[in-house]
Structure 1
Amino acid sequence: MRETDLYPPIKSLLEGQGYRVKSEIGAVDVVALRGDEPPVVVELKTGFSLALFHQCIARQAVTDDVYLAVPRLAGKRFARSLKENVALARRLSLGVITVRLSDGLVEVHCDPGPYRPRKSKKRQSALLREFARRAGDPNEGGQTRAGLITAYRQDATKIALYLFEVGASKGAEVARETGVVNATRIMRDDHYNWFEKVATGVYGLTSAGAEAVALTPRVLGD
């Protein structure tokens, strides 16, 4: 696979739209002109890379109409990569073209232009809710998800601490005394293997839960 394999199909597409097309003009792989319109620039590469995006951003000093072009591959891995890179290209006001080398099919996945991301109120609400519920600042910025202390884990820790001090208790009592309104569900779901059901509506602490109590100051930010 070579970058030059991409050129004939892309040239054919652009010429079909009324452009005059030439390759290797200065540092640019492909330049297309149509009347008095600004030039269209296409950079050809055998795959997505950060260097390709850097190159295309540099071409925006020449024209706003900059595309990056790569071969279209089969499989879910490429499909996922394409989706992610198209999203990045939109944010950078770049266009994305793929070429299926088996038959020369050219697809334009996005055109250059201003990008206005749609805000997700649901995600924003979840972010603010987690911020408000989390006690203190128990994590280190940049750490991996493993061992991350969430508001849910803090609630579970409050429950474990209460059961450690008081013993097996009814869910309603735990909720009232700890302030964790969904205490019964947390104990029933038992994501951390800290709780065990000892009677109808009554939960106790497992040995793993007792060990977790030792980490209470760090988890609760005390």
Structure 2
Amino acid sequence: MAVKHETELYPPIKAYFEKQGFEVKGEIMHCDLVAIHPETNETILVEMKKTFNLALLLQGIERLRLNGSVILAVERNRKKVGAHNQRFGDLTELCRMLGLGLMTVTFFKTKAPVLEMLCQPGDPPQRGQRRVRQARLLTEFHERSGDYNTGGSNKSKLVTAYREKALRVAWALSEHGELSPSAIAKLTDIPRAGHFLQKDYYRWFERVKRGQYSLKPEGASALQQYAHIIEAWQRQRQHKDKQDAALIHNHD
């Protein structure tokens, strides 16, 4: 059930903090809700909006100048399909990174609202997951041989590290005909060439017999479309071969 006004969030949030022993008052120095515990003097500021948006986020950051514990509160409408409504995991992590808390209020027609505290003020970011994603980002960056995509593109086919390697496998088959995975691995410097042949994500390869693969017309077409990538890879390979030869010569 969608609320019409953000003031509808106030009663259930006030009740939530009062159950925890806080004294709650609204609209103090432009803060939507201020909760103070009479015994510990713990102070919490809450800013409310019907949906999570930039204005709410900026309000939360501004309130951190007044108090160290600030919570953003929004409605959680299960039927709403707005850009932010279905991404509470990402929004929660964003709030963690900024030192903000985040809570949601879900309204029902026949029962009391349900409040969920997604993160408390000061909760640390989930860095473990970030390290994994960072490792994937760095791997993708270093395994690309060049910059073949225009930043901001979202409708064109991206040249990923995976596509580059698949193109190198296609090049080997185009140049040498039917080959085994091990032969392709030597020609392309891709140790797991067999993975690309067996998975055949782009439908470029064909297994002609056990341990032997050939190139489909779709693969040949892709080589023409991405010829500049193969040319760049070959130039890099030739440059590396010259460097290796020079090192061997100097060592001798």
TM-score (norm 2): 0.76
Aligned with 1:12 (options 9, 12, 15) = 15
Retained in 2: the 8 A contact 1:6–1:101? Answer: no
CA distance in 2, matches of 1:129, 1:19: 49
Alpha-carbon displacement from aligned partner over 1:142-165 (angstroms, at most 9, x marks no partner): 333742112221121112122222
Equivalent residue for 1:170? 180
Q: Which amino acid aligns with 2:142?
A: A
Equivalent residue for 1:52? 56
Q: Which amino acid aligns with 1:47?
A: T
TM-aligned CA distance change 1:127 to 1:172, over 3 Å: same
Equivalent residue for 2:151? 141
The Cα shift of 1:53 comes to 1.0
TM-aligned CA distance change 1:101 to 1:124, over 3 Å: closer
Residue 66 (structure 2) pairs with residue 67 (structure 1): no
Q: Relative contact order (alpha carbons < 8 A, sep ≥ 6): 1 or 2 greater?
A: 1
TM-aligned CA distance change 1:81 to 1:171, over 3 Å: closer
TM-aligned CA distance change 1:194 to 1:79, over 3 Å: same
Aligned with 1:199 (options 209, 214, 218) = 209
Aligned with 1:216 (options 227, 236, 239) = 227
Tell me the C-alpha RMSD between the 2 structures: 2.6
Residue 24 (structure 2) pairs with residue 21 (structure 1): yes
Identical aligned pairs, as a percentage?
Answer: 37
Gaps of 5+ in 1: none
CA distance in 2, matches of 1:16, 1:114: 22
Retained in 1: the 8 A contact 2:69–2:100? Answer: yes
Retained in 1: the 8 A contact 2:182–2:194? Answer: yes
Aligned residue pair count = 222
Retained in 1: the 8 A contact 2:164–2:229? Answer: no
Aligned with 1:40 (options 44, 59, 82) = 44
CA distance in 2, matches of 1:97, 1:198: 58
Alpha-carbon displacement from aligned partner over 1:88-139 (angstroms, at most 9, x marks no partner): 2111111122223330333322211153442345434433333333222322
CA distance in 2, matches of 1:157, 1:205: 11
TM-aligned CA distance change 1:70 to 1:160, over 3 Å: same
Equivalent residue for 1:99? 105
